[in-house]
Amino acid sequence: MGGRYEDADEAHEGRETQAQEAQEGPEAQEAPEAHITTGAHITTEAHISAIRALSAPARVAEPAEGISHEELALAARNHGLPLEALRYDLTPPGLHYVLVHYDIPAVADDWTLTVGGRVRTPLRLDMAALRSFPAVTHRVTMECAGNGRARLTPRPVSQPWLVEAVGTADWTGVPLRTLLAEAGVEPDAVEAVFTGADHGVERGVEQDYQRSLPLADATAAAPDPEVLVAYEMNGAPLPPQHGHPVRLVVPGWYGMAHVKWLRDISLTSTPFTGFQQAVAYRYRQSADDPGEPVTRISPRALMIPPGFPDFMSRTRVVRPGPVRLEGRAWSGHAPVTMVEVSTDDGESWQEAELNGTEDPAAYAWAWRSWRTTWTAAPGTHALIARATDAAGHSQPLTEPWNRGGFGNNAVQRVTVFCLPQGD
Ligand SMILES: Nc1nc2c(c(=O)[nH]1)N[C@H]1C(S)=C(S)[C@@H](COP(=O)(O)O)O[C@H]1N2
Ligand SMILES: [Mo]
């Protein structure tokens, strides 16, 4: 594929969407969704064209184009999990990956969460009111939908994740269905729209970060993923970068659904067509492909890179003899049932030992650990791990490409150099 590719995404230019409407001028302001997208801001045509001038459309890199300073700036802000931290079942504070589209917002002390739209009784809850509902805790593995994007050819130009956009935390809060029951859902409600306190411009569209869930997903209960309005991470108040004071947690779904700095929940009688729903986060092959929405997490196994690294190349070095290989595996569709390991670049596979969890119900949406032993012989080796879940989903050996670089769960390859027989 040659030439210049426009319209990729962590945000696509779409068709029949708000991005399109925003370009077309004042009619767009009459659409109720346009008001939702820009929050409280009233926009004029001049304002819209000024914004568009500073915010470039999405694109896919030229075949030989290296990572740019802009991608580097995003990578430095949005850090991944150091892979050796896969050794912890619960990711220690600060090592969980972070993805923030705009800025971490300054949330005022008098923060409240409003629940409105198609409800019988709109709610305004402060932290004390939220904490007065019975709390639950779920251990959830969260992964960015763009994980694996930078390994694609051609590369969608956006946050350049390799494999490390993942982490696991214990999230404590109130089930969303408890709050919606308190407010009373009107019969014509079909979706819940979640608005964060952060604001920015993306691909020419000024917006508050907003995502929606179908009502059935928003009100699901175990064994389906129970959505939480969470105010604690690993038993402590949420840190600023993870959504302080309150975020949504949607077990099993890719990260974009877990709206941080949550300030409003609105039930709507029509499906939400905001930017992060209808334009971004769709699996598209071409700009005019309406695509499918990005939802649940595809299975993935990651290996703790064995031995020790070379500083620059990150090539792993081991000594001949038995080497323990271990890591974690997860899926947002169903529990992981098998992890296979290849130590000969995919020629042959052995099943790894998979650890159970002491409480399958509480940990249904969290990763599991796996381990096996490899007898290393001198030379260079490519190690691969592959996860399969109970719904039969597995990992491809080659990258599944789409214009946004979403859901690339192709297997991780770890290059290991085994030293010659020693002294
Ligand atoms: N308000 C708001 N919520 C957000 C985002 C954001 O930019 N703003 N980023 C989303 C994306 S794309 C991901 S992957 C997760 C990342 O969550 P974390 O930083 O806590 O790991 O948050 C999601 N929630
Ligand atoms: Mo993400």
Per-residue pLDDT of 330-371, as tens digits, reads: 999 999 999 999 999 999 999 999 987 666 666 789 999 999
State the amino acid at position 284 in one-letter form.
R
Question: Residue type at 409?
Answer: N
The answer to whether residue 349 sits within a structural domain is yes
pLDDT of residue 185: 98
Instruction: Please indicate, yes or no, whether residues 269 and 401 belong to a single structural domain of this protein.
Output: no
- What does residue 136 show for φ and ψ, rounded to 5 degrees? -130, 160
Q: What pLDDT does 36 receive?
A: 38
- Tell me the two tokens of residue 11: 């945000």
- Contact 240/174 with Cβ under 8 angstroms? no
Residue 21 predicted with pLDDT over 50: no
Interatomic CA distance for residues 395 and 384, integer angstroms: 11
> Is 25 a domain residue?
yes
* Helix-strand-coil split of the chain, %, nearest 5: 15, 30, 50
Instruction: Mark whether 229 and 332 lie in a shared domain.
Output: no
Residue 360 lies in a domain: yes
Q: 252 CA to middle of ligand 2, Å?
A: 13
Mean pLDDT to the nearest integer, 304-319: 97
For residues 390 and 275, membership in a common domain is answered with no
Span from the CA of 338 to the centroid of ligand 2 (angstroms): 26
Q: What is the pLDDT, as a whole number, of residue 2? A: 31
Rounded average pLDDT over 244-259: 98
Ligand 1 pocket mutation, candidates 9, 96, 101, criterion most atoms within 8 A of CB: 101
| pLDDT beyond 60 at 14 | no
**316 in ligand 1 pocket by Cβ < 6 Å?**
no
Is the CB–ligand 1 distance for residue 255 below 6 Å? yes
Judge whether 192 lies within some domain.
Answer: yes
Residue with the smallest CA separation from ligand 1 atom 20 is: 242
- DSSP strand pairing (166-175 vs 228-233): antiparallel
Answer whether 6's CB lies under 8 Å from 400's CB. no
Closest C-alpha residue for ligand 1 atom 23 = 256
Question: What confidence tens digit (pLDDT) does each residue in 142-180 have?
Answer: 999 999 999 999 999 999 999 999 999 999 999 999 999
Q: What is the pLDDT of residue 359?
A: 67
The alpha carbon of 228 and the centre of ligand 2 are apart by a number of angstroms equal to 18
**Ligand 1 centre from 248 Cα, in Å?**
10
Two tokens, residue 183? 């407010």
Tell me if 423 is assigned to some domain.
Answer: no
256 lines ligand 1 (CB under 6 A): yes
Residue 56, pLDDT score: 85
Contact 84, 305 (CB under 8 A): yes
Task: Report which bound ligand comes closest to the CA of 264.
Answer: 1
Ligand 1 pocket, 33 CB below 6 A? no
Q: Could you tell me if 316 and 409 lie in one domain?
A: yes
Residue 134, preceding peptide bond in cis (omega within 30° of 0): no
Residues 306 and 249 in one domain: no
Tokens of 131: 């904490």
Q: 384: domain range?
A: 300-418
* Statement to judge: residues 353 and 278 lie in one domain: no
Q: How far is it, in rounded angstroms, from Cα 329 to Cα 386?
A: 8
User: Are both 221 and 313 inside the same structural domain?
Assistant: no
Cα–Cα separations (whole angstroms), residue 154 to 11, 114, 399, 404? 16, 43, 11, 11
Minimum-distance ligand to the CA of 95? 1
Work out how many domains the chain is built from and give that number.
Answer: 2
| pLDDT computed for residue 32 by the predictor | 35
Residue nearest (by alpha carbon) to ligand 1 atom 16: 99
pLDDT of 19 higher than 50? no
The confidence band for 47, taking pLDDT boundaries of 50, 70 and 90, is: confident
Whether ligand 1 lies within 6 angstroms of the CB of 209 is answered as: yes
Residue 255 CA to ligand 1 center (angstroms) comes to: 6
Residues 277 and 323 in one domain: no
Quick one: which atom of ligand 1 is closest to the CA of 196? 1
Where is the domain boundary, 263, 278, 293?
293
| 246 and 320, same domain (yes or no) | no
My answer on whether 289 and 305 are in the same domain is no
For residue 177, tell me if it sits in a domain.
yes
- Examine the domain organization and report whether 327 and 267 are in the same domain: no
Among residues 293, 313, 345, which one ends one of the domains?
293
DSSP 8-state symbol, 227? P
Residues 285 and 309 in one domain: no
Q: What is the CATH number of the domain that holds 362?
A: 2.60.40.650
| Minimum-distance ligand 1 atom for the alpha carbon of 241 | 19
275 CB within 6 A, ligand 1? no
d(CA 191, CA 252): 18
Domain membership of residue 249 (yes or no) is yes
Q: Whose CA is closest to atom 10 on ligand 1?
A: 256
| Tens of pLDDT, residues 76-100 | 999 999 999 999 999 998 999 999 9
Q: How far apart are CA 239 and CA 253, in angstroms?
A: 21
By most ligand atoms within 8 Å of CB, the mutation choice from 227, 260, 296 for ligand 1 is 260
Measured between alpha carbons, how far is 41 from 207 in angstroms, rounded to an integer?
Answer: 9
Phi, psi of 178 (to 5 degrees): -65, -45
CB atoms closer than 10 angstroms to residue 273 = 20
Q: Ligand 2 center to residue 133 CA distance, Å?
A: 29
Q: Output the domain CATH number for residue 198.
A: 3.90.420.10
CA of 417 relative to ligand 1 center, distance in Å: 37
Which residue type occupies 162? L
End-of-domain residue from the set 240, 264, 293: 293
DSSP string, 306-336: PSEE-TTT--EEE-SEEEEEEEEEE-SSS-E
99 Cβ below 6 A of ligand 1: yes
